[in-house]
Each structure stands twice: as C-alpha cells, then as structure tokens.
Amino acid sequence: MSDSGRSGGQLTLWGGGTVRTFRAHWMLHELGLDYEPRLIGSRTGETQSEEFRRLNPKEKIPVLVDDALVLSESAAIVTYLADRYGAGTGLTPEPRTDARAHYDEWTSFILMELDAHTLYVMRRHRDLADLYGEAPAAIEAAIAGFQKQVAVAERALAHRNHLVGEQFTGVDILLTSCLDWAVAYQVGIPERLDAYRRHHQQRPAYRASRELNFSVSPGA
C-alpha cells in the first residue's frame, strides 16, 4: 500500500477476525496507507496480555496506534483515518457542514440500532452463549429490531448507493459491514440493501481488507 501523504512513525492496527476490526482495515485500505496489522483475535487471550492492556485497558479490538495516538472503537478509527489522511477523498464530509452532521447521525444510528442493540445481542446469545447464556427470546427480539431499524436505511437508499451525498464515505463502511454480519447470521435483509451491499463489496479495498482481516479466527 502507498503512504497517501503520510509521514512519521509506524501506523499499527491491532485486531482481526471480527466485523468491527474489518471496518478499520477497510478504511486503511481505502486510503492506501502502509500499516502493520497485528491480527489478534478478540477471545484468544491476546487482548489480556500486558502489552495490549497498556494500549487499551478495555481489552477490546480494534485499536489503532498512530505515533503517540492510541485510538479504540471501530467507528472512531474509521472517521479519524479519513479525517487525518483522506483530504480530498470525500471519505468523510468536511466538519461543520450539513453533510458532516448527517454522517455523524448515521454513525450513531448504525452503531446503536444495528450493531450494539441487535447484531451484538445475537452474537452474545449464539456465538458466546457459553459466556452469556442461551436466550432464544432475546435473539428473536434482536432480529425483529434489526429488521425494523434497517428499513430506515432501506428508505434512505431507495435511489442511491451512498448514505451521505453522492460519494462513498465511512458510514458506508459501517453499514455494509453490518449488512454482511446480518447475512452471515442468516437474518433477512431487503433486496435493495442486498444490492447496496454487493455494490460496495466490489471495491478493491473491501476485498483486500476482508481477505486480511478474516484470515484469522476471532476466537471463541
């Protein structure tokens, strides 16, 4: 990958094997940035190492290290990278604009209504049932909640392939990754959103980052 105008020390991304780590790898590939991928899984014991806990006491991935900056949370990393290294790319709208306000709105919506409140509930009580317990009713409610909320995105994308303006941005990374997650869980998504998802899957950065990120297991 090229440096895309970057100078300075090593850029490192910790984490692999999950949808959330994939988002960060995807943005790094969109920007063509050289970086070191540290592909540790989320439940392999590696996030509990002394080295990693110094970076992120939350013991969660992904974590970006950019010189002195240490940054966690997938959406924060996606947005930071585009703001810091994506001048002229349109991957994030300019600050203090209506487009940026809508970008932030979609970021919050995707993270809360599609990721944390629904898809991750399914993960907790399916993939991680040995830790959090089986809860069929919670999974059913999460599926229903996801399908209700994702219909908002379907309406917004009725005649376009981008959530904000006419250009691909970081929120398209967030939404596409959630739609991939839903499909992997065999949760039905509207035809329009499946077409949107497949459209963005054709991006070279999507393909390269997905191959890298999912070359490792997320851990049990």
CATH number of 11-91+207-213: 3.40.30.10
Question: What's residue 128's pLDDT?
Answer: 82
157 pLDDT more than 90: yes
Identify the band that residue 3 occupies on the pLDDT scale cut at 50, 70 and 90: low
- Summarised one tens digit per residue, pLDDT across range 95-110 is 999 999 999 999 999 9
Say whether 98-203 and 11-91+207-213 share the same fold: no
Other Cβ atoms less than 10 A from the Cβ of 61: the count is: 28
Question: What's residue 2's pLDDT?
Answer: 45
The alpha helices in the chain, defined as continuous H runs, are 19-31, 50-55, 74-85, 98-109, 120-125, 129-132, 136-156, 170-184, 191-201, 204-213
Question: What's residue 7's pLDDT?
Answer: 54
State the average pLDDT for the chain: 94
Cα Rg for the chain, rounded, in angstroms?
17
Q: What is the residue extent of each domain of the chain? A: 11-91+207-213, 98-203
Question: What's residue 176's pLDDT?
Answer: 98
Question: What's residue 189's pLDDT?
Answer: 97
| Higher per-residue confidence, 1 vs 183 | 183
CATH number of 98-203: 1.20.1050.10
Q: How far is CA 158 from CA 154, 188, 190, 199, in A?
A: 6, 17, 11, 14
Identify the band that residue 8 occupies on the pLDDT scale cut at 50, 70 and 90: low
Identify the band that residue 219 occupies on the pLDDT scale cut at 50, 70 and 90: low
Question: What's residue 44's pLDDT?
Answer: 85
State percent of the chain over pLDDT 70. Answer: 95
Contact 37, 1 (CB under 8 A): no
Residues paired with residue 171 on neighbouring β-strands, in sequence order: none
Question: What's residue 131's pLDDT?
Answer: 82
164 pLDDT more than 90: yes
Question: What's residue 216's pLDDT?
Answer: 85
Query: Which pTM value belongs to this model?
Result: 0.94
